[in-house]
Amino acid sequence: MKGILFDLDGVIADTAVYHFSAWRQLIKKHFNCDLPDELEVKTKGVSREDSLTAILSYLKIDISEEEFEALAIEKNQLYLQSLTTMTETDILPGIKSLIDDCKSKGLKLALASASKNGPIILDKLGLAHVFDAIVDPSEVRKGKPAPDIFLAAARQLDLLPSECVGLEDSVAGITAINTAGIVSIGVGGPELNHAKARFETTKDVTLEKIEKVFKR
Ligand code: B16
Ligand code: MG
């Protein structure tokens, strides 16, 4: 094991809830509809545009390309508003020590997030300097659940997929890691049972446990 590929929202920071709450506000304002909880799983790890497509298709709403673009921009503005008070204290429990342990063992670290806001968030969390590679999701051909972003992360670290482990909180993300031929570790509920190993919370994920899963 030579590299760890981190997802951001839901693994490094608890931003998944802000994403869905921004979608909820937006859809309420424009269409006066309430989004059910089960739609959150479908938007986790999925790009802004793919999330909006999934939401509109669930609501059976058809809009023009211009309206689609305007909604995506407005959603991002709402999301960014919820990040204004974000600081280092918003790093999820156990993640800072996991990163420190990886660094002291000489492991390479990459960020494989679908979020175009990744660099802003890492900056707010004081983690901008930590990663050896940060994949730009707009440079990747297909988003999660396609394997592209994790393959790009391994490539940018100069590693083979088989030398890496990927950490994810989303169904789409675990599928992406598995399809890339990378050892997957899920952080979250039983919807992530397709991961090689799964932990309920970030607190439970230590380097020692990751090493054990990799050797299994
Ligand atoms: P943005 P991750 C993903 O981040 C989120 O899970 C997903 O809900 C969001 O739609 C996507 O980023 C795009 O984010 O609108 O900020 O570009 O989990 O892959 O780190
Ligand atoms: Mg995530």
Residues 170 and 102 in one domain: yes
Residue where one domain finishes, among candidates 82, 109, 131: 82
**Main-chain dihedrals φ then ψ at residue 134, nearest 5 degrees:** -125, 110
Averaged pLDDT for residues 184-206? 97
Q: In sequence order, what are the residues at sequence separation of 6 or more whose Cβ sits closer than 8 angstroms to the Cβ of residue 168?
A: 7, 10, 11, 45, 174, 176, 177, 184, 185, 186, 187, 192, 195
Residue where one domain finishes, among candidates 53, 82, 111: 82
Residues 76 and 111 in one domain: no
Residues 51 and 148 in one domain: no
Residue 123: give the domain boundaries.
3-14+87-215
Q: For residue 33, count other CB atoms closer than 10 A to its CB.
A: 13
Residues 155 and 69 in one domain: no
Averaged pLDDT for residues 165-181? 97
Residues 106 and 162 in one domain: yes
Residue where one domain finishes, among candidates 55, 82, 109: 82
* pLDDT tens digits, 57-108: 999 999 999 999 999 999 999 999 999 989 999 999 999 999 999 999 999 9
Residues 119 and 166 in one domain: yes
Residues 174 and 161 in one domain: yes
Residues 110 and 205 in one domain: yes
What is the CA(61)–ligand 2 centre distance, in A? 26
Please state, in angstroms and rounded to a whole number, the distance separating the CA atoms of residues 142 and 204: 31
> Is pLDDT above 90 for 181?
yes
* pLDDT tens digits, 132-148: 999 999 999 999 999 99
Kindly write down the DSSP assignment for every residue of the chain, as one continuous string: --EEEE--BTTTBS-HHHHHHHHHHHHHHHH--PPPTHHHHHHTTS-HHHHHHHHHHHHT----HHHHHHHHHHHHHHHHHTTTT--GGGBPTTHHHHHHHHHHTT-EEEE--S-TTHHHHHHHTT-TTT-SEE--GGGSSS-TTSSHHHHHHHHHTT--GGGEEEEESSHHHHHHHHHTT-EEEEESSGGGTTSSEEESSGGG--HHHHHHHHH-
Residues 71 and 96 in one domain: no
CATH number at residue 30: 1.10.150.240
pLDDT of residue 95: 98
Mutate to test the pocket of ligand 1, among 53, 111, 113, 116 (most ligand atoms within 8 A of CB): 113
pTM: 0.92
Q: How many domains does the chain have?
A: 2
Q: Among all residues, which ones are annotated catalytic?
A: 7, 9
Residues 10 and 52 in one domain: no
* CB 113 near ligand 1, within 6 Å: yes
Closest ligand to residue 8's CA? 1
Closest ligand 1 atom to 118 CA: 16
pLDDT of residue 29: 97
Residues 111 and 186 in one domain: yes
Residues 127 and 105 in one domain: yes
CATH number at residue 167: 3.40.50.1000
